[in-house]
Homo-oligomer: A and B are copies of this chain.
């Protein structure tokens, strides 16, 4: 058979060198030599789709490490899939560069993607690269699978269900503060390893892949909290036609956040009203809580009950005095 080759133009060479190795495990990616990818769905399953681009200046800084940019671009999409109960399968990616990227940058970027793929269990299937004025943009569309009809929706929480959240809240907000100003560590009273931890939480959010099967089995509603707990809980409440009543005292905090909060109570805002957490907010019917909690013990991250679903509307987080916490801005606004 004749030997197949990549196109000998700029885009072809770039793809063959840096991106084709990331697609090696997917036969339907055709080594990125074709115009489209083919994905063979598992019989009896729905494909879950998410597209969430990230851009320099909005989602990351111009001095961000290329490997971190790649990781985050994939993580923000996989986080949504996982919150729907899906097993990540693959992704396509459109890269837009304001200028021709350096080989060093591309090598790091590809390494970051490779690390994220391995951690999250999915594979590059196809993509597009071009040059356009404006900020560097990484637009990923990710695919996951759930048994047919089983996607865990955000609008299906029911009165009486218990509200849970994965991991810890607000760490990425501290990480962002440190990325902007390293000396902020002093007023936060963070130890050195805590600084590393919160910056890692900002740069490399970890989708809760292992949680997905438990959500399928036990959750009544679920979503990831990329725009902050209060705002996203409000969205779940709106979509479900219920109220979510939570308590600040029950929210899961890392050691780092506990210290930062002791130093400055205004950090409460970072816990409930900052974006970038990429944890999962979900509800479990009361009758299923014990079974769920027992199953969740095997997970390598925390799972915390933080409130209850009630009749009414909106999301409320009560402070230590029982009164609702109010902030001037409840979470990240896209417009």
A interface vs B, CB < 8 Å?
A: 1-12, 14, 28, 30, 33-41, 43, 45-53, 55, 57-58, 80-81, 83-84, 86, 92-94, 96, 100, 125-135, 137, 139, 141, 143-144, 146, 148-149, 151, 153-155, 223-224, 231, 234-235, 238-242, 333-335
Rank and list the top 6 A-B pairs by shortest CB-CB distance, nearest first: A134-B134, A2-B241, A10-B335, A141-B141, A41-B41, A51-B92
Nearest-neighbour CB distance to chain B for A187, whole angstroms, equals 31
Q: Which residue of B84, B131, B242, B335 contacts A100 across the interface (Cβ within 8 Å)?
A: B335
Chain B residues near A51 (CB, 8 Å)? 92-94, 126-128, 139, 141
Q: Is the beta-carbon distance between B239 and A33 smaller than 8 angstroms?
A: yes
Known contacts A49-B36, A84-B36, A137 near B96 by CB under 8 Å: yes
A38-B151, A40-B47, A51-B92 given; name 17 further pairs at CB < 8 Å.
A4-B155, A4-B239, A5-B238, A9-B334, A11-B334, A28-B151, A36-B84, A38-B48, A51-B126, A52-B128, A53-B94, A55-B96, A55-B130, A55-B132, A58-B131, A131-B334, A139-B139
Nearest B-chain residue to A139, judged by Cβ:
B139
Q: Is the beta-carbon distance between B137 and A7 smaller than 8 angstroms?
A: no
Q: Do most interface residues of chain A lie in helix, strand or loop, or is the interface mixed?
A: mixed
The count of identical subunits is 2
Chain A to chain B contacts (Cβ below 8 Å), 20 pairs: A9-B333, A9-B335, A11-B335, A30-B155, A34-B223, A36-B49, A36-B81, A37-B48, A37-B50, A39-B49, A49-B126, A49-B141, A50-B126, A52-B128, A53-B94, A53-B96, A53-B130, A94-B139, A96-B137, A134-B135
Nearest B-chain residue to A41, judged by Cβ:
B41
Q: Is the beta-carbon distance between B3 and A57 smaller than 8 angstroms?
A: no
